[in-house]
Chain A
């Protein structure tokens, strides 16, 4: 091990240095300072690699020692004992030197090559000019344009759907029936367990809540009216729609979005197969058919939950419950709920397709559009529900 490095003031000592280094050590990166003939030398040794530096104790010790070292111009550096030196270690040294070669430096050729690369390529990032107020205003104003474009696209989607329905009616044998049946199964049949569970639990909760109040007034039998009207007319359809929006809406957006990422949409267009007819229409039709059925199913299971609780907590027998239900809830309410659900289904599918088509070919956009799709479709469902409540405020009550 060289006890004293060669002393030479010439800066080109770097190129000349070729003395055999110390045997490779598996030691942590470190350095020590010593004076040789009045010149301060720093002798670095050990493994100056990303792997060695990624241990917390090593890094703390080394960075602390580097910071504690006086930044002297005439400091000499001896790197011959470093084995190995990789780009991270070299970068650390280079940055410590203030991105300039020290006046006195001895090292070996491979280390020289690594350090040369750091020296050659270290640079500052191109500065990004901060946007001016005018540019910011322009970006902000552009939001309006983008919103208008999105709305226009959505209206176009609805129009295209209407036209596609027309095409289907004129030539039903050319319709994408296999797609439709697949989507029906996927959106409808596979949603049955979860909607049944959620419906049942909501029925139980609502029945317990109302039974407490009704008992105070001695109006126990009215639980049939309350549960019947609330579940059949409002909660069943809305609950089912929210669940389906989260479940199938996100699936549609992700499916169409991935088709955009993998260029499947472009491939379809090149073959002359319209997206509206093959992708949008079967999904919208499937949800238009499946949604009322799921909503009916959810209401049924919610009523079942309510019936069980009415029996348990108020002593109202299921037989009485079923007998009183048709008298309490007019049939109109059921038709209203089914119609409303069909509109929910159509809107969920259209919103999901709209956002799916707007996915840009990268994963970030896919995630963002799927989120917006679900949020928008749930909002739309609630909006439409409110609209129905206002429009049909005089219908179905006794």
Chain B
């Protein structure tokens, strides 16, 4: 587990009284988030956890400014999201679930794209910076000229991560970073993320269903259920929360196995012993 940052550091992302409402074609309204509050502190690795359809990815998209909440406010680095304009890649990096690499570009062009779009820096500098990032995510320079269609799933994720990090944004969002990777690649990817988090001082927000990744990386876990964040706290506090979803999610068969990564038995964390509801 990554070292937990001090709790008094300023918030990088602030979500206040957020409502998300989807309208089905026949005019029925479906409330996904109701009066949701969440703060993301500088330097932490926050995992969003919740059942299917609880709006985890929607929340990520709202932080990115790709979708607007029905009511309430999202602030990223003190600004409304999606208003960063050119150079937005310097504020927020996003790793999409399937990489979202531009298939018309080579690997190096993909990584260099945000820098090149500034149309300011010289090509040699951009190329060198992209090559450095490519190698920081663990791929050799021989992959630079390849097309995304020639890459394996794990390599696509790595290249996408390099592209998200090209301008060293303080905030990195990950949507299912290890989905579709074999266990070995998943572990490698987790190691990579942990290393980058340490070296670059990143703040990471991720959506994941992979409990190994979750316990491996998270400094804080926010659980979405009942249309709000029922608890946001350190993994141990969250596991101890008595909410039925959490009991089922973490203390089911898979959860128990993954919890062994925490190195002590979940039985010690009896219900109510440490959990403090978020609101």
Contacts and interface: CB of A to CB of B under 8 A. Distances in A.
Interface stretch (A274-282, A316-324, A358-366): A358-366
A126 B141 contact: yes
A123 B148 contact: no
Given A54-B87, A125-B108, 13 more contacts: A50-B168, A56-B120, A59-B121, A86-B168, A87-B133, A88-B121, A95-B125, A117-B136, A117-B199, A122-B131, A123-B135, A126-B145, A360-B149
23 contacts: A49-B90, A50-B87, A50-B90, A50-B166, A54-B87, A54-B90, A87-B132, A87-B168, A88-B129, A91-B128, A92-B125, A95-B124, A95-B128, A121-B135, A123-B131, A123-B141, A126-B141, A126-B142, A126-B144, A126-B145, A362-B147, A362-B149, A363-B104
A361 B142 CA distance: 23
A361 B103 CA distance: 10
A117 B131 CA distance: 11
Contacts of A364: 103-104
Interface residues of A, number: 30
A53 interface: yes
A331 interface: no
A51 interface: yes
B125 to A, nearest CB: 6
A59 B125 CA distance: 13
Contacts of A86: 167-168
A87 B129 contact: yes
Interface string B97-139: 0000001100010000001001011101101110111111000
Interface string B141-155: 110110111000000
A113 interface: yes
B192 to A, nearest CB: 14
Interface residues of B, number: 34
Highest count of chain A CB atoms <10 Å: which of B91, B104, B142: B104
A118 interface: yes
A122 B136 CA distance: 11
Give me the 6 closest cross-chain CB pairs, A-B, nearest first: A86-B168, A121-B135, A51-B90, A50-B167, A121-B132, A362-B103
Secondary structure of the B side of the interface? helix
Given A87-B168, A362-B103, A117 B132 contact: yes
Contacts of B104: 363-364
Secondary structure of the A side of the interface? helix
Interface in A30-62: 49-51, 53-54, 56, 59
A128 interface: yes
Interface string B209-241: 000000000000000000000000000000000
Highest count of chain B CB atoms <10 Å: which of A63, A87, A363: A87
Contact of B168 (A56, A88, A121, A126): A88
A239 B139 CA distance: 54
Nearest to B167: A50
Contacts of B86: 54
Given A363-B103, A363-B104, A364-B104, A125 B131 contact: yes
Contacts of B131: 121-123, 125
Interface string A47-85: 001110110100100010000000000000000000000
A87 B115 CA distance: 12
